[in-house]
């Protein structure tokens, strides 16, 4: 996180060494034969399955399916979360009324509502999207509420002295003040959205990496299973890191 | 009562204020005339800032009333601008200097096309023309306070309330800002109500000085300052009247603190 670290190249190198060590230990365990290959394939077999899946297999389509599902749900959750969060955050009374309810909804594991969602809308793409939105809305919504609650009282006075309208206060003071919190919330939301996209695929049989790794596991194609897991890990890493960059850029006025 | 003969623009009529069951202000009664520069002094916690909040409509008096231009104050008015002491909290950190001035112009509904010129002129007035694209965090304390002053001018208000605006600045910066504010007040003909805990600053700037007792805040004395204008950091502070008033008010302040 720290800027101006002395050896950013060194830190990166250390990270690579750590990763290489991890793969090497993985290799050693497989080579020792302590774990059956049906459960733990070698790194080479995983890599080959990965390359095969991406080049001649269906992995690209599956990846696209999962990523789109994740992003659609996440964007919808972000939009609704920011709008609702602004509406709640602007009023201290409303904040006080809703705080316990929001805390409960946030603490509720989203997968727990899946049976409810299935009962209500069936095993449809809409259900999966709905569960993703429901599960991933909370970090963004709560961060927005928080961002509004933390507006400096002085700025509230400034906006009153300037006769800013309620809309102008939200748009020009409340939201910009909340932006760093919102982006952080959206980063957390994205992680949840990915988890729920995969769970949704597994449960509702939607085309994607989640369904693919479930099938691979059922058919004891361990290398394919692990290749899918590695790819999902990469999706999570890339999306989270991308938003971290956005977070730093947006909050450049914050020192 | 005052050196200036303009009409009365700010009236405190027997104002009392309770906040959270505590009496903050008691029986405050005085007038400020058009174009007058009135300074309020007193120990911290004497309700100086409260008086500004009452004029700006951010607080409502419990008893009595505050009138601006003959009308009872019942909320903030665009004709009253306020400069807060804690400039770093009063500016929008995510907007540049130009953007902060723009906020006041947007508030009065100035069309986008006209804003750029006005912003440039206002920043020029406070010596920040070169720093339009900088964020507040990139400006020194004195520059941030200049920026807040520019924003208050952008509002086009005829009444300027200043709440210990230079309290957090170093002595040199404070002196140059004192002179700039005097110049701006003279240029715009604005009426200024200026709160400070610095006795000499009050004498140097004001046409009149209102001294307050503490707990609750009430008027101890109102003193006319017959010093000539324009004032000068060296010669004004050496005038016999200045020294005499300084001694007199210093004695009063000691009495207040005791």
Asked if residues A193 and A132 have their Cβ atoms less than 8 Å apart, the reply is yes
Query: What is the set of domains in chain B, with CATH numbers?
Result: 1-79+158-258 (3.40.50.300), 88-156 (no CATH)
Q: What percent of chain A has pLDDT over 90?
A: 57
pLDDT digits (tens, 9 = 90+) for A175-222: 999 998 999 999 999 999 999 999 989 888 888 999 999 999 898 889
Q: Which domain holds residue A158?
A: 43-250
Residues of chain B in contact with residue A177, where contact means CB-CB under 8 angstroms, are 94
Report yes or no for ipTM above 0.90. no
Which residues are paired to B211 by β-bridges? B41, B221
Phi and psi at residue A139, in whole multiples of 5°? -55, -40
Q: How many CB atoms sit inside 10 A of residue B129's CB?
A: 15
The number of residues making up chain A comes to 255
Suggest the residue from A161, A164, A175, A249 to mutate for an interface test with chain B (most B CBs closer than 10 A): A161
Please give, rounded to a whole number of angstroms, the shortest distance from the CA of B54 to a CA of chain A: 12
Q: Which of B76, B84, B137 sits opposite A154 (nearest CB)?
A: B84
Q: Would residue A88 count as lying in a domain? A: yes
The number of residues making up chain B comes to 258
> How far is it, in rounded angstroms, from Cα B120 to Cα B228?
33
What the block records as the tokens of A100 is 């316990």
pLDDT digits (tens, 9 = 90+) for A131-140: 899 999 999 9
> How many structural domains does chain A have?
1
- Per-residue buried b or exposed e for A181-216, using 16+ beta carbons within 10 Å of the residue's own CB: bbbbbbbbbbbbbbbbbbbbbbbbebbbbbbbbbeb
Residues of chain A in contact with residue B137, where contact means CB-CB under 8 angstroms, are 253, 255
Q: Would residue A124 count as lying in a domain? A: yes
> How far is it, in rounded angstroms, from Cα B121 to Cα A108?
55
Q: What CATH number did the domain enclosing A228 receive?
A: 1.10.3720.10
Q: Give the pLDDT band (50/70/90) at residue A233.
A: very high
pLDDT digits (tens, 9 = 90+) for A34-60: 888 888 999 999 999 999 998 988 899
Q: How many CB atoms sit inside 10 A of residue A106's CB?
A: 13
Residue matched to tokens 């990763």:
A19
Coil, strand or helix: which one is B209?
A: strand
> How far is it, in rounded angstroms, from Cα A106 to Cα A109?
8
Give residues 77 to 136 of B whose Cβ lies within 8 Å of A: 77-78, 80-82, 84, 86, 89-90, 92-95, 103-104, 106-107, 135-136
């Amino acid at each position: 996180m720290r800027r101006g670290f002395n050896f950013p190249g060194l830190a990166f190198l250390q990270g690579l060494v750590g990763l290489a060590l991890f793969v090497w230990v993985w290799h050693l365990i497989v080579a020792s034969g302590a774990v059956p290959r049906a459960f733990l394939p070698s790194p080479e077999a995983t890599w080959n399955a990965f390359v095969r899946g991406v080049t001649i297999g269906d992995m690209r389509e599956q990846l696209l399916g999962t990523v789109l599902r994740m992003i659609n749900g996440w964007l919808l959750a972000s939009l609704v979360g920011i709008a609702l969060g602004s509406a709640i955050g602007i009023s201290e009374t409303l904040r006080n009324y809703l705080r316990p309810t929001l805390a409960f909804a946030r603490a509720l594991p989203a997968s727990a509502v899946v049976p409810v969602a299935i009962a209500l809308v069936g095993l449809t793409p809409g259900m999966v999207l709905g569960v993703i939105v429901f599960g991933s809305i909370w970090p963004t919504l709560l961060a927005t509420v928080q961002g509004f609650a933390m507006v400096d009282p002085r700025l509230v006075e400034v906006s009153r002295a300037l006769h800013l309208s309620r809309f102008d206060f939200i748009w020009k003071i409340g939201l910009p003040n909340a932006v760093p919190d919102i982006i952080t919330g959206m980063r957390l939301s994205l992680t949840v959205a990915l988890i729920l996209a995969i769970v949704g695929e597994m449960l509702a049989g939607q085309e994607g990496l989640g369904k693919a790794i479930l099938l691979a596991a059922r058919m004891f194609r361990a290398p394919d299973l692990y290749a899918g897991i590695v790819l999902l890990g990469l999706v999570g890493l890339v999306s989270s890191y991308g938003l971290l960059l956005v977070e730093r850029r947006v909050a450049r006025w914050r020192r | 009562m005052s050196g200036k003969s303009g009409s009365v623009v700010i009236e405190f009529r027997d104002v009392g204020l309770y906040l959270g069951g505590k009496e903050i202000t008691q029986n405050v009664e005085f007038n400020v005339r058009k174009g007058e520069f009135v300074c309020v002094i007193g120990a911290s916690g004497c309700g100086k800032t409260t008086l500004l909040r009452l004029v700006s409509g951010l607080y409502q008096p419990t008893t009595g009333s505050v009138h601006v231009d003959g009308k009872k104050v019942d909320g903030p008015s665009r004709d009253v601008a306020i400069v807060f002491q804690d400039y770093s909290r009063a500016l929008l950190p995510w907007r540049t200097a130009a953007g902060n001035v723009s906020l006041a112009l947007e508030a009065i509904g100035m069309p986008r096309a006209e804003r750029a010129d006005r912003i440039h002129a206002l920043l020029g007035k406070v010596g920040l023309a070169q720093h339009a694209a900088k964020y507040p965090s990139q400006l020194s304390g004195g520059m941030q306070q200049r920026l807040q002053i520019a924003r208050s001018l952008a509002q086009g208000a005829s009444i300027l309330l200043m709440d210990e605006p230079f309290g957090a600045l170093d002595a040199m910066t404070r002196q140059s800002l004192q002179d700039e504010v005097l110049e701006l007040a003279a240029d715009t003909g604005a009426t200024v109500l200026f709160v400070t805990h610095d006795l000499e600053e009050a004498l140097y700037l004001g046409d009149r000085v209102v001294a307050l007792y503490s707990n609750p805040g009430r008027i101890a004395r109102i003193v006319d300052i017959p010093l000539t204008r324009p004032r000068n950091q060296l010669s004004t502070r050496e005038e016999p009247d200045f020294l005499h008033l300084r001694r007199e008010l210093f004695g009063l302040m000691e009495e207040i603190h005791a």
